Chains A and B, each alone.
Chain A
Amino acid sequence: MFTEAIRSIAAKALEEKRVDLVIGFTSGATPLTTQAAFIEGPSAAGKLIWNDFCAGNLARHLRGRDKKIGIIANGCASRNIVVYIVENQIRREDIYIIGVPCQGMLDRHKIKALSGKKKIKDIRTESDRVTWSGNAFTKEYPRRELLRQSCLYCRHKNPVIYDILAGEPVGEDKETADQDIEVLEVQSAEERLEYFRTLFDRCTLCYACRNACPVCYCPTCFVDRTDPRWFDKPPASGDAFTFHLLRAMHCAGRCTDCGACESACPVGIPITKLTRKLNKDIRTLYNFEAGLSIETPSPLSVYDLEDPQDFILTEELKKKARTITS
């Protein structure tokens, strides 16, 4: 789609010495995967690609470099760059953002599940249809049905900050609701518990989600701490539950719902269900979305005296006492 534009922009930026390094995507070892590419010379810019599987978040490679960096950023990656700037991890002037309007990425787990155990050799997208084939089979599906959950409910497809745009901005649906979260919310607590328990039973605590996440950059993650030791090795029952809950809490107000964690998961757990619920709460309670403005601080690092506090037990007791007396 934008591959040619990205290549020429990257090559030009490297030639003009505007940047020392361009971070982009290149094709992975197998179909349905991509990996990060670090391009240092204009001749290598031909390696860069842009396809339907650029699901990782390149922003996570930005920290701790003393070079001037060019980065290919779609909507969510650009929001993560904003989060880094807000958190003083990088400086805006050190980054040259090559913005890419994003149509959403495809979920490799969905495609693999649809093809059974058959090996996929080739995959193509033509307008709204995706066709993939392997040994003696061909499948075709509407593109929308294969989108990742995060992309399906994406509200910011175009980069929020950029220096140059590789294509025309695409239409955005700002009212997109997290319907899958709403479905879960109306269920009973037991149903939800059962749902999450079956999900996290599959988790092997490989921490691929943490490693893929751009906002998970603590020098020592809480799961790796030895004093105090929050997690024992080997994992005990309930560890997966605790890990995913605490990781989601760490991302509160910083997660841009890029879905890199979910795409990195080797067993295909829909981890973004948790972060999306948090994002939804933050949007309704504190009217905040992460990574939209360099000026706005994270919602958990500020407060408002008038914040909702219906959940406080003593407030509930006082309210009850008041209704009894009146």
Chain B
Amino acid sequence: MRGILRHCGVAASTPRSSGFARLATGAFYCAVPKLVFYEIIDYNYLKYAGKMGKKSQGWEPKIIAFLCNWCSYAAADLAGVKRLKYPQNVRIVRVPCTGSVSPYFILFALRQGADAVIVSGCAPGDCHYRSGNLYARRRFQLFKNMVNFMGMEKDRLHFAWISASEAELFVKTMQEVTDRVRTLGPLKHIKKSRP
């Protein structure tokens, strides 16, 4: 599990290290430029450095997408190859399998400043590891019910099956999620507030 975290730069954000050191470690662990997960974690860095592009006027949702390496990440790749446009609000974290996505990761992202999370992987029967997504399906069903039960809007948390060839579906799904989160507004109640 630690390996995955390192990969998406979660472990890189020790709360008390300096902004520059954190950017350095973040960049080190996120070899693929697309993995900009450290951006939301290091929003303090963004605030001070101001070099990473000015914040746009008004609120824009931040959406973290945990995509499985074998299907949904490939679909995102294909969307790029096909020059299909999908919302910039989506930040992608590549994971080996949806079965490896723990509820921790999702809550961690939400607490660090994401407004919504989508977990996407292979459809049932297509899993590279044969059954990872089937275990994940049970876990996410319960997790989503639980999160809704505790009062979070149901559109904050999404799960999807997108196979490697479905670039259009990927774009459509990301568009849908972004639209829904935009109508909801920013997530407040579990976001971590640091002094």
Contacts and interface: CB of A to CB of B under 8 A. Distances in A.
Given A190-B151, A193-B152, A278-B146, A230 B137 contact: no
Nearest to B139: A300
A313 B177 contact: yes
Contacts, number: 135
B159 A286 contact: no
Interface stretch (B20-28, B31-39, B80-88, B168-176): B168-176
Interface in A202-245: 222, 227-230, 232, 236-238, 241-242, 245
Nearest to B135: A303
Given A192-B149, A249-B146, A314-B161, A236 B2 contact: no
Interface in B88-109: 103-104, 107-108
B182 interface: no
28 contacts: A189-B154, A192-B150, A192-B151, A227-B2, A227-B11, A230-B104, A232-B192, A236-B193, A236-B194, A237-B192, A238-B189, A238-B191, A238-B192, A241-B150, A245-B103, A248-B146, A277-B146, A278-B145, A281-B146, A303-B134, A303-B135, A308-B141, A311-B140, A312-B159, A312-B161, A313-B173, A314-B161, A314-B169
Contacts of B153: 189
B118 interface: yes
Interface in B123-166: 124-125, 131, 134-135, 137-154, 158-162
A313 B179 CA distance: 13
B137 A309 contact: yes
A12 B47 CA distance: 72
Contacts of B193: 236-238
Listed from nearest, the 8 A-B pairs whose CB atoms lie closest are A193-B151, A303-B134, A238-B190, A192-B151, A314-B160, A313-B158, A313-B160, A236-B192
A246 B147 CA distance: 10
A248 B161 CA distance: 26
Nearest to B163: A314
Contacts of A274: 146, 149-150
B146 A314 contact: no
Contacts of A249: 103, 139, 142-143, 146
B9 to A, nearest CB: 11
A252 interface: yes
Nearest to A304: B134
B125 A305 contact: yes
Given A189-B153, A252-B142, A313 B190 contact: no
A282 B134 contact: no
Nearest to A227: B11
B111 A238 contact: yes
A249 B142 CA distance: 8
Most buried by B among A232, A277, A282, A313: A313
Nearest to A191: B151
